[in-house]
Structure formats: C-alpha cells, structure tokens
C-alpha cells in the first residue's frame, strides 16, 4: 500500500522503494523489433535482457512535457506499480533507469496484446460469453486488490487490459497507472480524468472520486466485451457526456442477442449513477453470473481467493503513458464507431475537458502510451 504520509492532496505519491539506476540501459538490454507503441510523451519498445535472454518491454517516459517537469508524475506511477507488486493481474515493474531526459520502466511483456482487438473482431474471433466471464473475473480480482490498497485506476478500458497470450486465450494484465490516484478517508480527490466513453458521472460533475468510479468503468468495459458496442458513445463528445450523465443505456435484445440475462443484470449493477449504490469489486465477484456453479470450469485455475495471499504472475505488457500535468487535462479517447458488430472500426482521438470542450488534434491509431 502506498505510504499515505507521502501522498499529496491530489492522491499522488512521491516516495518509492525501487532503486533508480543511472548506468546505461543499453549496456544491459538490447532493443529488438518494431516499437510496441508510441504516445505523445512516451514510447514502448521490446527489449532483451543481455544477462538472461529474457524478453521484456521498456517504456521510455519523457521527464519534461510541454515545458514542465513531470518527473513527479512518473514517480507516482512507479509507486503505484510497487504497491501492486503482489497483484497477479497487474503488470510487473522489473527495473527503472534514468538519464538526462527520460525515465525508463522495464516491464513484463504480454504477447497477447490489448483485449480491445478482440472486442472489435469479427464474430469468429470475438470473445464468447464464457471468455468474458473468465476475463471479467480476473479484472475484478485485480481491481479488488488495488482497491484494498486504496488505489483507484481511473482509466479502465479495453486498451489498458492486456493478455498474456491471444491463442489460446491467456490471462489479463492491467496496465497504465498514469491517471491512478491513491485515496484515504480524509482527503477528497476531485479531478476530471479518464477516457470519455468510460468515465463515470461523478467525474463529469467534478464530484469526489472513489473506488466506485472504477466500477462504473468495469460496467462499460463488460458491455463492450459482450456486445462489441460502446454504450454511451454519441456523435460527438458532448453527446457522449450527456448519455453518461443521463445513463442512457440500450439493454435491448438486439444489442444483447445471444447474451444471458445474468450478464445484463451484472452490467446493470454497475451502470448506476449514484456511486454509493454501485456494486463493489468484492460484491461483483459474488454475482451469480460470475460465481454460478455452471461457470466454475471457465475460471483460471490460479485465481486467488480474496481472503488468500496474492501471488505474482508474469508476462505483462507495456503500459500507456501518463498524460502531461497541465491546466488542461488531456483525455485519451478510444472510439468504436460502428453500425454493427462485424463493421466495428477502432478510431482514437484526444480531447481536453474544458468548457466548451475544444477538440484536440487526432492521434494515430495504435497503442497509446
């Protein structure tokens, strides 16, 4: 658990245990292949550890962004990853290097890529409901561990859930803690952060953030995994925000064709405007859609009980980058524009939450880091 004594009023932690190495990264690792992803302030590359021959992912984070020193943002991300070290479904941090312009995070590397790819895949390659049951249970187990440590992710979406393998379908890893915050029982944290389609109503209303904020995003995420459609996506971001504020959700049989009523009930327990009435991660794990005896054979054999010690897993992938600290908070949008499941096309953009919500320049399709 992050040290609350080293946390500022915005839920950012400034103290880490990991030793930051100042020797040359390239003296210990070889960079191989193409970039795994690139964002505005970071690039992720595959690397091979020279001493062992093991494959990892290296995330190169710029310390200065838009003329401002953002080293503290990176330190916070490291601190959160440290607190999640024993969480089997969170990407593992292996080493940290620093030079004059960048901090380099050496992470586990997941070969399966984002679950987003299968959310928008053709019917033959899309997730089955049985797949979703297993993966959502893993997501909830990982998030429950974070919440017990008073960490909220604040950007749970398909692009930030990776797979250890795609065929056969592997286990999940939660990545990108750049927007995460640490909570306590004293300080209220209010920030407008997240991805437009997945943000909870309290974010838009600038109300206090809580663990329930993540649970709303899991409801949206589950909807997307089961249907291939984004429940609140409008013609523009203002319409998307209005849909979220009014909780305009289509639960019709046309959307949920072939999906069980228990799955719909599960989503309804999360897409609730009042955060106090949303199901918690622990309550979700007890929902009959996930805990019913008919589904037990679908679950990963190594899923820990919430009452049992957590064990480390391996093989995660690079996380996307934390946004720059600036008066205008950048919101990374991942839009799924479609008229049917088979015609879904991923299109991504970046927006700034600011009245009257001016549009940011579009960014290239790909892993946002």
Q: Is 131 a catalytic residue?
A: no
pLDDT digit string, tens, across residues 38-95 = 777 888 899 999 999 999 999 999 999 888 899 999 999 999 999 999 999 999 999 9
Q: Report the candidate in 233, 225, 299, 304 with the shortest Cα–Cα distance to residue 263.
A: 225
Domains of the chain as residue ranges with CATH: 4-107 (3.30.200.20), 113-352 (1.10.510.10)
Tokens of 318: 């690079």
> What span, in angstroms and rounded, lies between the C-alpha atoms of 362 and 367?
14
Residue 128 has pLDDT above 70, yes or no: yes
> What span, in angstroms and rounded, lies between the C-alpha atoms of 230 and 225?
9
3-state DSSP of the chain: CCCHHHECCCCCECCCCCCEECCCHHHCEEEEEEEEEECCCEEEEEEEECCCCCEEEEEEEECEECCEECHHHHHHHHHHHHHCCCCCCECCEEEEEECCCEEEEEECCCCCEECHHHHCCCCCCCCCHHHHHHHHHHHHHHHHHHHHCCEECCCCCHHHEEECCCCCCCCEEECCCCCCEECCCCCCCCCCCCCHHHCCHHHHCCCCCCHHHHHHHHHHHHHHHHHCCCCCCCCCHHHHHHHHHCCCCCCCCCCCCCCCHHHHHHHHCCCCCCHHHCCCHHHHHCCHHHHCHHHHHHCCCCCCCCCCCCCCCCCCCCCCCCCCCCCCCEEEEEEEECCCHHHCEEEEEEEECCCCCCECCCCCCCCCC
pLDDT at residue 347, rounded to an integer = 38
% of residues, the chain, pLDDT over 70: 75
pLDDT digit string, tens, across residues 300-354 = 434 444 444 444 444 444 444 444 433 333 333 333 333 333 334 333 333 444 4
At residue 178 the predicted structure's pLDDT band, cuts being 50, 70 and 90, is: confident
Mean pLDDT, range 181-203, rounded to an integer: 89
pTM score: 0.77
Mean pLDDT, range 16-41, rounded to an integer: 90
State the chain's mean pLDDT as an integer.
81
pLDDT digit string, tens, across residues 147-166 = 999 999 999 999 899 999 98
Q: Are 197 and 333 in contact (CB under 8 A)?
A: yes
pLDDT digit string, tens, across residues 130-148 = 999 999 999 999 999 999 9
Instruction: Find all residues with CB under 8 Å of 121, minimum gap 6, and list them.
Output: none
Catalytic choice (124, 131, 155, 307)? 155
């Amino acid at each position: 658990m992050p040290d609350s004594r080293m946390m500022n009023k915005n839920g950012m932690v400034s103290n880490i245990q990991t030793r930051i190495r100042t020797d040359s990264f390239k003296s210990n690792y070889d960079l191989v292949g193409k970039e795994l992803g690139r964002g505005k302030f970071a690039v992720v590359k595959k690397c091979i550890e020279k001493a062992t021959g093991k494959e990892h992912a290296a995330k190169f984070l710029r310390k200065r962004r838009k003329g401002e020193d953002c080293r503290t943002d990176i330190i916070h991300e490291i601190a959160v990853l440290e607190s999640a070290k024993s969480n089997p479904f969170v990407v593992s941090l292996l080493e940290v290097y620093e030079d004059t312009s960048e901090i380099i995070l050496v992470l586990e590397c997941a070969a399966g890529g984002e679950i987003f790819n299968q959310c928008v895949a053709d019917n033959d390659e899309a997730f089955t409901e049985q797949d979703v049951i297993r993966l959502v249970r893993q997501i909830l187990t990982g998030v429950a561990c974070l919440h017990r440590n008073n960490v909220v992710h604040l950007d749970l979406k398909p692009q930030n859930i990776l797979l250890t393998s795609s065929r056969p379908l592997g286990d999940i890893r939660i990545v990108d803690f750049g927007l995460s915050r640490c909570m306590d029982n004293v300080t209220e944290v209010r920030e407008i952060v997240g991805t437009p389609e997945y943000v909870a109503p309290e974010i838009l209303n600038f109300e206090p953030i809580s663990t329930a904020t993540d649970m709303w995003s899991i409801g949206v995420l589950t909807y997307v995994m089961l249907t291939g459609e984004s429940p609140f996506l409008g013609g523009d971001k203002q319409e998307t925000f209005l849909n979220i504020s009014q909780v305009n959700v289509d639960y019709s049989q046309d959307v949920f064709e072939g999906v069980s009523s228990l799955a719909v009930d599960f989503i309804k327990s999360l897409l609730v405007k009042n955060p106090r009435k949303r199901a918690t991660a622990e309550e979700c794990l007890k929902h009959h859609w996930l805990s019913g005896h008919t589904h037990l054979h679908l679950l990963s054999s190594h899923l820990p009980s919430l009452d049992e010690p957590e064990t480390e897993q391996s093989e995660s992938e690079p996380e996307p980058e934390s946004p720059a600290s600036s008066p205008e908070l950048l919101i990374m949008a991942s839009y799924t524009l479609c008229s049917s499941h088979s015609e879904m096309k991923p299109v991504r953009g970046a927006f700034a939450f600011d009245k009257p919500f001016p549009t940011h320049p579009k960014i290239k399709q790909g892993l946002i880091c």
